[in-house]
Structure 1
Amino acid sequence: MIYYFCTQQGQQIAELQAVSAGSVVTFNWTKYNSATGSFDAYATESGASSVIQNLADGCYQVSFTEGGNNYSFRAWVFNSWLQVTAAVTASTCTSFHLESTVTGSTFIYYDITSNQQLVLAPNDTYAWYEGETRLATQASFTTYDVPAQNTDYRVEVRNRAGCTASSTVTYQSVVPEAKFSWTTSQKGDPQYSNPQAPLEVQFNNESLNADNDKFEWFLFRDISAIREEASTATEPVDSIMEVLTDMNPVYTYENSGRYMVKLVAAKENPNFTCRDTFYLSDYIVVDTSLVMVPPVFTPNGDGMNDVLKIKTRSLESLDFQILNRWGRTVHHFKKSGYIPEDSELAAWDGKIGGKPASAGVYFYVVDAVGRDGTRRKRKGFIHLLR
C-alpha cells in the first residue's frame, strides 16, 4: 500500500492510522531501514487506535495482537511536493517557444524481500492554457499562433501523487497585426450604391502593436486597367498607383474604378523587425461616369420641376443640346472642367430666345466625357408640359 501526501518542499505531513476491532491493544510501529534491510522500532502506543504523524518518506509497519490473533500491516508514505516555472524562449516573428521546468520530490521505493532500490517515476502530466483554452499537453512546445499583444500563458503540472503546481508567464509580443478600415463623407447614390469620383477616402488605421512610423499603404491601380494591361504585357505589370506612409492617410481617387489597398505594418525589435500585411476584403469602388436626363419637366412657374435638371456622376465635361421636331437646335448647354460630384445641373429653363417654349416633345443630344475617360453619348426625348 502506498499513500501520497501533497505538501511543500521540506515539510512532512504524512500520517498513518491503525485501528483495532474495538479492543485496547498495543500497537508496535516500526520503520524500514534500507541500510540493514530490516525494520527498526519507531513507536509504541496502546488504545483502540493509533496515529503516527509528521512521517518522513519510507515504509512503516504496525503489528498488534487482538483476540489471540496477531495482525501486521505495512504501508509506504511519500511527502510529495512539486514546483514548476514557465518561460518564453526563442521568440521570433513567426513563432515562440513555451518551456516548463519542473522540480519535485523523489519517490524512492525498496523491494523489502531483496532490499533493491526502485525510483518511482513522477509520471508528470502537463497542460498549457491561454485563458481557459487548452493549447498543448507537452512539457514544452512551439506555437506559431503569435499574438500581437502581450498574452499570459499558464502551465499546470500533475505528478503521480495527484499533486499539482502551476506557473504563468507573459509573452511580450514582438509582432504587429495590420488592420484598417476606410470611410468617406460622400454618400453613394441609393440607386447605384457607390460614391463617385473625385472621392476623398479617410483610411483608419486599426493595427495593433506596430510602430507609429512604420506603416506602408499600397494603393493599387484600377483592377480593370491592370487586367487590360496584363493581357498584352510580356513583363510583370506594375499594379501600384501610390505608396503612402502616414499613420492615417487621406487620399483622393480622381477617377472611377475598383481599387484594392494593402497595409504593411512593422514593429522593430532589437535584433529583427516583424511585419504584417492586411488587404481589404473588397475593392473601394468609385462609380463610373453617368448622365441621366428626366423624361418630363413642367416650366409653368409653380416652383415644382420648372427647370430641366441633368443628373451627372464623375464627369469632366458635358455638352447638352435641345432640338425641336424639325431637328433645329433651340438650346445649348455646355459645362467643362470640374463638375461637382453627384451634380444636378440646371440645363434648360424651358425658354427659347428668352420666350417660353411651346409645350410638346423635344429631342436632346448628350456628349459627355467621364473621369474614367469614357465618352458618354446619348439621345432621347423630353416632354415639356405647361
Structure 2
Amino acid sequence: MFQKKMIIKSDFRYSIKLLIVFVVMFSAILMEKANAQISAGKASYRTLTEYTSTANDSVFVFCDNIGTGVGELRADSPDGTNGWTFAWTKWDATVNDFITNLVTEANQSFSILSNLTDGRYRVVMSKSGETDVTSIAWVLNNSNAEPVLTLSRMNCDGVYFSGSFAKKELQYQDVPNANQINVKVVDRVIFSLQRNGEEKQGTPLVAYDGSDENLFDNEEYEGDETYQLVVTDQYACDFTSNSIVSNTYVVKADFSVAPDSGEAPLEDVIFTNNSINATDYKWYLYQDYDRLPEGLTSVEDSLLTDAILLDKDLAPYTYQYSGKYFVKLIVTSDKGPEVCLDEMMLSTPIVVDTSLVQVPNVFTPNGDGRNDIWKVKTQSLFLESFHAIVFNRWGRVMYEWRNPEEGWNGKVNGKMATPGTYFYVITAVGREEPQKKYTKKGSFMLIRK
C-alpha cells in the first residue's frame, strides 16, 4: 500500500564463494581420482599442485584465524575395511624426503591427523596380503592480518567507510626442486561491510592490490550501531576487521493507516508515525481527487484540512463523506550538519464507501420486542434523501418508506405477512458534493417464532 525508499542489496560475498566452488570443482574431481585415499573435509579450498617434472599432489587450504595450524587430513583404507596400518610422515625439504615420523595406527579402516602445520604429508597404508598404497597431500594454513576499516564521513545519503586488506599468497614447493609455486586460485576477494552482523554492502574485487576501497551504508537507523568489514579472500576464508561504532542522520518518512477503508463516516482513522531520525513533520490530508475543482494553484487547495498539519502524531481523523483520499508525510532532520528530507505518500487511497451501513438478512416480527422491525441501519445525518421498498416474490409492494429511522413491522394492511423470502430496493442520495446516488438490492427472510 505504501511507496517507500527501497534499498536493493546483493550478498556478493556468498555468491562469489559459490563461484569459487564451481571454478575449482573440476580440479577437485581430478584430485580425488589421483589421491582417492586422502581427504580434507574442513578445507576451505582445494586444488592440485603444478609440479614441473613429477606427479601432482593434492593441495588443501585451511582457514586459520588463530595462526596455530588447524589442518586436518583423513586417509581411508583402499577397500574400506579394517585391518589396515596407517603410517604418517612429513616431508623434509632439506633432504627432499619423508623422514619425519608422525604417527602410526594399526588395524584401522581410516586415520585422521589434526592440528597440522604447513607442509607436505604422506600416508602409507599397508595390510597383510594387500599391496601397500601411498597418498600424499599438502596442508597450507591460511592465516592473515585483520582487514582495516575506517569511518570516512556522513551525510544525508548515509555513512561512508574505507577498507583495506593485506592479501596473502600461499605457496608450496616444487618437488623435487626448491622453487616456490603459488597456489592456483580465482584471483578475487570480497569486501563485505556489515552492521550488527547484517551485510549492508558487498563488493567483489578482481586482482585486489591492497588499496583502500570505499564502502557505504545508506539505511536509516537511530542510535549507535556497530560496523565491521569482513573480507573473503581468494581461498574462501573470512577475516574480520576491528569494530567501529557509528550513528547516522539519514531520515526516513514512514507511517501506516488503520482502518484504510470502510463506510462513511469512516471514524477514528489512526495514522501511526514510524519515521526514523525525523525532527519535523508535515502531514498533507488530500481531498477526494474526483471532487477537486479545476484550476488549483497550490497543494494546499486540495487539502481536507485548513492547513498542513505539523504534529508528529495526528489525532484520530474522521472522513465524513465517501470518496478516495490520499495522505502524504514529509519529514526533515536537523540531527546532522545539514538538513535531511524524505517523504512518503500512500500509493493506494483510503477508500470511504457509501453511507448505507448495513441491511439485515432476517427479522422475526413476533411482538417479543427483539428484531420486530426490519430496519436499514444508516448514517442518516449524511444522507440527503432515502427511499426503501419491500416486495414479495411476485413483485407486489409490501411496504415502502422514506424516513431512514423507520422500518417494516412485517404487516400488510394491518395483517401479518406470510413468513418467507422478501426482496428490497434501497436508493439514497448522499450529502457529498457533487452528490452521489446509491442503490442497494437484495433479499431477507421473515420468520415467525
> Which residue type is aligned with residue 207 of structure 1?
S
1:1-386 mapped onto 2 (5 Å cutoff): 19=94, 85-100=148-163, 127-130=191-194, 131=197, 133=199, 135-136=202-203, 137=205, 139-143=212-216, 145-149=218-222, 150-156=224-230, 166-184=241-259, 194-211=262-279, 214-226=280-292, 229=293, 233=295, 238-242=301-305, 243-249=308-314, 250-290=316-356, 299-303=365-369, 305-313=371-379, 316-317=382-383, 318-320=385-387, 334=403, 345-349=405-409, 357-359=414-416, 368-372=428-432, 373-376=435-438
- Determine if contact 1:197/1:314 at 8 Å carries over to the other structure: no
Q: Structure 2 CA distance, aligned partners of 1:82 and 1:382?
A: 80
Tell me, yes or no, if the aligned pair for 2:163 and 2:214 is still in contact at 8 Å.
no
TM-score normalised by L of structure 1: 0.52
Q: Which residue in the other structure is 1:116 paired with? A: none
Distance in structure 2 (CA, Å) of the matches to 1:172 and 1:225: 46
How far does residue 201 in structure 1 lie from its aligned partner after superposition? 0.7
Aligned Cα root-mean-square deviation (Å): 5.3
Greater shift after overlay, 244-253 or 300-309? Answer: 300-309
Aligned-pair CA distance for 1:264: 2.0
Mark the CA change 1:7 to 1:300 in structure 2 (over 3 Å): closer, same or farther: closer
Identical columns (%): 30
The structure-2 alpha-carbon separation of the partners of 1:164 and 1:206, relative to structure 1 and needing over 3 Å to count, comes to closer
Provide Cα deviations, 1:120-178, integer angstroms capped at 9, x if missing partner: xxx99672321353522572315363333444332356999x99672332331111222
TM-score, normalised on structure 2? 0.46
SS at match of 1:224: helix
Q: Distance in 1 between matches of 2:445 and 2:232?
A: 89
Kindly provide the amino acid, as one letter, of the partner of residue 139 in structure 1. Answer: D
Letter in 1 for 2:436: T
Indicate conservation of the 8 Å contact 2:355/2:378, yes or no: yes
Is the CA contact 1:81–1:163 (under 8 Å) kept in the aligned structure 2?
A: no
Against the structure 1 CA distance between its residues 308 and 273, is the aligned structure 2 distance closer, same or farther, given a 3 Å change threshold?
Answer: same
Partner of 2:156, secondary structure, is coil
Instruction: Point out the structure with max Rg over C-alpha.
Output: 1
Q: CA deviation at 1:278?
A: 2.1
1:301 match: secondary structure: coil
- Looking at structure 2, the residues matched to 128 and 291 of structure 1 have their Cα atoms a distance apart, in angstroms, of 56
SS of the aligned residue for 2:407 comes to strand
Cα distance in structure 2, aligned partners of 1:156 and 1:292: 61
When residues 315 and 245 of structure 1 are mapped into structure 2, their CA distance, relative to the original with a 3 A threshold, is same
The alpha-carbon distance between structure 1 residues 157 and 255, as it changes in their structure 2 partners (threshold 3 A), is closer
Q: Residue type of the partner of 1:199?
A: E
Amino acid at match of 1:154: Q
Please say if residues 218 and 250 of structure 2, whose CA atoms lie closer than 8 Å, have aligned partners that are also in contact: no
CA distance in 2, matches of 1:21, 1:334: 110
d(CA) in 2 for partners of 1:132, 1:323: 65
Q: 1:367–1:377: 8 Å Cα contact kept in structure 2?
A: yes
CA distance in 2, matches of 1:271, 1:280: 30
Contact 1:180 1:207 (8 Å CA) reproduced: yes
Residue type of the alignment partner of 1:152: T
Q: Distance in 2 between matches of 1:176 and 1:379?
A: 50
Distance of 1:293 and 1:158 partners within structure 2: 66
Change (3 A) 1:93 1:294: closer
Pairwise CA distance, 1:252: 1.5
Structure 1: where are the runs of 5+ without partners?
A: 1-5, 9-16, 23-79, 105-122, 336-344
The amino acid across from 1:347 in the alignment is G
Aligned-pair CA distance for 1:284: 1.4
Cα pair 2:225 2:247 within 8 Å, conserved: yes
Gaps in structure 2 of 5+ consecutive residues: 1-64, 68-91, 98-142, 168-186, 206-210
Residues 256, 289 of structure 1: 8 Å contact kept = yes
Size of the aligned set, in residue pairs, is 271
CA shift digits 1:177-227 (9 cap, x unpaired)? 22221224xxx9xxxx7343142211111222223xx1222112113324x
Asked if 1 retains the 8 angstrom alpha-carbon contact of 2:263 and 2:355, the reply is: no
The secondary structure found in structure 2 opposite 1:218 is: strand
- SS of corresponding position for 2:248: coil
Higher helix content, 1 or 2: 2
- Tell me how far apart the structure 1 counterparts of residues 386 and 96 of structure 2 sit (CA, whole Å): 117
